[in-house]
Amino acid sequence: MITIDQKIAELLNNWTINGWPVGNLCLCLIALVLSVILCGAVGIEREIKGRSAGLRTHLLVGVGSCIIMIISIYGFPALFDGKRDVARLAAQIITGVGFLGAGVIMHRGTGIKGLTTAATIWTVMAIGIACGSFNFVLAVAGTLLIIIVLTVFRKVEIKLNKKNPTITMCVPGNEPVIEKILTISKQFDCTVSGLHSEIIGEGDSKCLELTFQAIFNSQEDRVSEYVSALEKETKATSVQLLAHR
């Protein structure tokens, strides 16, 4: 079955002026411009959220992937006589961008930051590959879906995380905080899961950092009251709610 994208690519590839393949040039330029627009849209969303990888990073990954795919398709016409594997370079892009995405993920205790941004870097790579392989409809549809996930589904995720938040808190190291946390959690009908502790700082500034997930068994929203009780009873210097970013 021939797709719309394949039909467009076929028409442009066959367009020549005085023997010059101008249609092929136009096709490559369309792919590059479209990758800038689509990957830029995802990058702008990350930039607005203030993430470590923003507009420029997403543009470079997407456009770079597009260029490599164009090279894979047109870059070696005479060397392999039509027997080349155009998917080989695409496989290398996926591996390389995977390592790049891992660089923006920060893990501390049970909290994870940068996971969503790493995923968007990986997805703009896929958008770039789609543009570079002239699957324009797929690239546009995929970008729209990614924007929906980053905006609409974020509100759903925030609503779900309110019931079972991940909490990180810094408390004095000489306080019996574990017992107090368990006692407070029992009062709020809450279960503590994945408790992780780490001593940070030195000398008089030394404190104990605790990270755990609070799972509320009741339907009533008492997260704010629970956090306030933790801060008061454990003499915590800071209490924060963590979320994926």
- List pLDDT tens digits, range 189-239: 888 888 888 877 666 667 888 888 888 887 777 788 888 888 888 888 888
pLDDT of residue 30: 94
Residue type, 210: L
Radius of gyration for the alpha carbons in the chain, expressed in angstroms and rounded: 25
Assess whether 50 and 157 both reside in one domain.
Answer: yes
Average pLDDT, integer, range 29-45: 94
Highest mean pLDDT among 40-49, 137-146, 155-164: 137-146
Indicate if 118 and 179 belong to the same structural domain: no
Which H or E element spans position 241?
A: strand 238-242
Tokens of 27: 């096709």
Fill in the amino acid letter for 66. Answer: C
Residue 66 is predicted with a pLDDT of 94
Average pLDDT over residues 42-58: 85
Domain finish residue from 130, 161, 192: 161
Amino acid identity, position 95: T
The three-class DSSP label of residue 189 is: coil
Alpha carbon distance 123, 52 (integer Å): 16
Q: How confident is the model at residue 166 (pLDDT cuts 50, 70, 90)?
A: confident
**Exposure class string for 143-176: b at 16+ Cβ within 10 A, else e:** beebeebbeeeeeeeeeebeeebbbbbbbeeeee
Query: Is 98 in the same domain as 139?
Result: yes
Amino acid identity, residue 52?
S
CA distance 19 to 211: 67
Amino acid residing at 175: E
What band does 1 get if pLDDT is binned at 50, 70 and 90? Answer: low
Structural domains counted in the chain: 2
- The residue assigned the tokens 């992937």 is 65
Does 174 share its domain with 123?
Answer: no
Q: Are 237 and 185 within one domain? A: yes
Cβ(191)–Cβ(185) below 8 Å: yes
CATH of the domain at 205: 3.30.70.260
Structure tokens at 36: 């800038």
Instruction: Examine the pLDDT at 64 and tell me if it is beyond 90.
Output: yes
Q: Based on the domain organization, do 19 and 88 belong to the same domain?
A: yes
Q: State the pLDDT at residue 165.
A: 81
Q: Please check whether residue 208 is in contact with residue 235, taking contact to mean a CB–CB distance below 8 angstroms.
A: no
Q: Which residue has the tokens 């605790």?
A: 210
Does residue 57 sit in the same domain as residue 73? yes
Q: Over pLDDT 70: what percentage of the chain?
A: 86
Domain end residue (candidates: 137, 161, 185)? 161
- DSSP H helices, the chain, are 4-13, 22-48, 55-74, 87-102, 115-132, 136-163, 177-187, 223-233
Q: Quick one: 124 and 188 in the same domain? A: no
Let me know whether 111 and 15 are in one domain. Answer: yes
Half-sphere exposure of 77 (CA within 13 A, CB side): 2
Which domain covers residue 185, as residue numbers?
Answer: 164-242
The predicted structure's pLDDT at residue 62: 94
pLDDT of amino acid 146: 93
Report pTM.
Answer: 0.71
Q: Within this chain, do residues 136 and 82 fall inside the same structural domain, yes or no?
A: yes
Domain closes at, from 107, 135, 161: 161
Domain identity same for 193 and 73: no
